[in-house]
Structure 1
Amino acid sequence: MDIDVLGALDVRENGVSITPTAPKPRQLLALLALHADRVVPVGSLVEELWSGRPPRSARTTLQTYVLQLRELIAAALAHRAARHPGAGPGPRTAKDVLLTLPGGYVLSSGGGPSDLRDFERLAGTGYRAMDAGDFAAASRTLGTALDLWSGPAFADVQCGTRLATEARRLEESRLCALHQRIEADLRLGRHREVLAELTVLTSHYRTHENLHAQFMIALHRSGRRGEALNAYTHLRTTLGRDLGLEPSAQLRRLQHLILTAEPETGPARAARAVHHPNAGPRTGSR
């Protein structure tokens, strides 16, 4: 089974899509796919589908949705049998793929690929490369991880409370990997290459201090100190207006270093000024 959730939902068995078009079964499949090979309790599925206001027939309706998914899975398995008539019966049935267990259901991936698992594996490898000072490997690996995203997680799924929470968590994971990939590029002297990307990112994530710090550093290293200082002023105004906050001490230190440093010597010190675990976003996009 192939599972993609980092963008539009796409779940395939033997290359055949088993993703339903109806909103509720699609929502059910999304939560099962997110937790592939793990039991998802019935209560969690009911909460996701009806957001804490389930009808009296919720469990019966849930079973109907499960049957609909199994029909799609059975069709995919039959397609495989039709394409390979000499292979004999397939090793899996629809009930083997979508199992009923005490307390819940399991979507069995059969060891197939998952874009989420691949992203988490590659991101972890990239973070370890950053820790080891191998910035070229970090940039390359984190870039590959980010390429797995085709849009917001579950982009075409009607999300209830649980999927919405997971989508926010995944977006934070993506932002963390993105920040670290840009950091690796800055360490490699690719400040001009990341300027356009950071221009877009800081416009979207208007109070994300790490991204703004990287934007300031990239501008300063490109000989655009005035624009770097303007970026700080704009962020400070936005933080004060939207959140009632001042920029962090690390960002204020970065502004001071840009004010006083030459472009050739300032950026390295400026970069170190914001390498702090608490110098992250104050909030999401605004």
Structure 2
Amino acid sequence: MDIEVLGALSVREGGRPIMPTAPKPRQVLALLALHADHMIPVGTLIEELWGGAPPRSARTTLQTYILQLREQIGEALTQVSDRCTAKDILVTLPGGYRLETRGGNIDYQEFERRAGAGYRAMDAEDYTGAARRLADALSLWTGMVLSDIQAGTQIDMEVKRLEEARLYALDQRIEADLRLGRHRELLAELTVLVNRYRMHESLHGQFMVALHRSGRRGEALNVYQRLRATLIEELGLEPSAALGRLQRSILLSSPDTLGAIGAGTGGRLVAR
């Protein structure tokens, strides 16, 4: 079974799509896909579907959704020479269900593998390799996680976790590019990112460095002032000490300064 969640949901068995049309069975499939090869307790599925106020028929209705999913899996299996059954793939366990991938491709696991290789290259100061590997990891994303799925509390939590992982990989890829002297090439991308993530200090710091190294010192200082005004207005906080050191370095015209920024500085993140 092949699973994609880094964009619209896609679940395929033997190349055949398994995709119910009704929102709640899709929701069940999405949560099972996010935890592929691991058991999801019945209570967790019920909470995802109905929150804190499930109907009396919740367990029976959930069983109906599981049967519908197995019907689609069974139809896909008839198209391939495979002796297993739908119950072997969507497994009932004491207290829950598990979606078996049987060694199939899972895009979020592949993202984690590629990103991990990029982080190891960063640690080894192989910035060319890190930039390449992290860009390769990020290429797996085709949009927002599960963009076509109605999300409850459980899916929403997983979406936030994966989006945070994507943003960290992006942050590290940009840092690798800066260390390779690609500041001018980054300006357009960072312009978009700092407007999307209005309180992400690391991205703002990277934008300041890229602008300053491109001979745009005044604009770099304006980025700091805009971020500071936003943090004070929204959170009542000043920028971090690391970002303050970067601003002072730019004021003193030290365009090679880079150590004050990066994901490791503990920059606050509030996506807006």
The alpha carbon displacement at 1:79 in A equals 1.9
Q: Find the aligned partners of 2:178 and 2:137 in 1 and give their Cα distance.
A: 18
Q: Does 1:277 align with 2:264?
A: yes
The alpha carbon displacement at 1:275 in A equals 4.3
Q: Secondary structure at the match of 2:119?
A: helix
The alpha carbon displacement at 1:185 in A equals 0.3
Q: Secondary structure at the match of 2:78?
A: helix
The alpha carbon displacement at 1:276 in A equals 6.8
Aligned ranges 1:135-214 → 2 under 5 Å: 135-214=127-206
The alpha carbon displacement at 1:279 in A equals 3.0
TM-score (norm: length of structure 2): 0.98
The alpha carbon displacement at 1:274 in A equals 2.3
Letter in 2 for 1:154: L
Per-residue CA deviation, residues 221-278 of structure 1 (Å, 9 max, x unaligned), is 11111110111111111111111111111111100000112xxxx233x211224734
Q: Find the aligned partners of 2:37 and 2:52 in 1 and give their Cα distance.
A: 25
Q: Is the 8 A contact 2:172 2:263 kept in 1?
A: no
Per-residue CA deviation, residues 127-164 of structure 1 (Å, 9 max, x unaligned), is 11100100111100100111101111111100000100
Q: Find the aligned partners of 1:121 and 1:52 in 2 and give their Cα distance.
A: 35
Q: Secondary structure at the match of 1:202?
A: helix
**Corresponding residue for residue 242 of structure 1:** 234
Q: Is the 8 A contact 2:207 2:220 kept in 1?
A: yes
The alpha carbon displacement at 1:178 in A equals 0.3
Q: Secondary structure at the match of 1:267?
A: coil
Q: Find the aligned partners of 1:52 and 1:140 in 2 and give their Cα distance.
A: 45
Letter in 1 for 2:258: A
Q: Does 1:16 align with 2:19?
A: no
**Corresponding residue for residue 7 of structure 1:** 7
Aligned ranges 1:1-286 → 2 under 5 Å: 1-81=1-81, 90-261=82-253, 266-268=254-256, 270-275=257-262, 277-280=264-267, 282-286=268-272
Q: Secondary structure at the match of 1:273?
A: coil
Q: Find the aligned partners of 1:128 and 1:57 in 2 and give their Cα distance.
A: 50
Letter in 1 for 2:52: G
* Runs of 4+, deviation exceeding 6 Å: none
**Corresponding residue for residue 85 of structure 1:** none
The alpha carbon displacement at 1:53 in A equals 1.1
Per-residue CA deviation, residues 88-144 of structure 1 (Å, 9 max, x unaligned), is xx1321111100011110100010001000001111111111001001111001001
Q: Secondary structure at the match of 1:11?
A: strand
Q: Which has the larger displacement, 271-280 or 34-43?
A: 271-280
Letter in 2 for 1:160: G
Q: Is the 8 A contact 2:115 2:169 kept in 1?
A: yes
TM-score (norm: length of structure 1): 0.93
Q: Is the 8 A contact 2:228 2:239 kept in 1?
A: yes
Q: Is the 8 A contact 2:51 2:153 kept in 1?
A: yes
Q: Secondary structure at the match of 1:40?
A: strand
Q: Is the 8 A contact 2:171 2:262 kept in 1?
A: no
Q: Find the aligned partners of 2:157 and 2:205 in 1 and give their Cα distance.
A: 27
Q: Is the 8 A contact 2:131 2:177 kept in 1?
A: yes
Q: 1:99 to 1:276 in 2, by over 3 A?
A: closer
CA RMSD after TM alignment: 1.1
Letter in 1 for 2:269: T
What is the percent sequence identity of the aligned residues?
Answer: 64
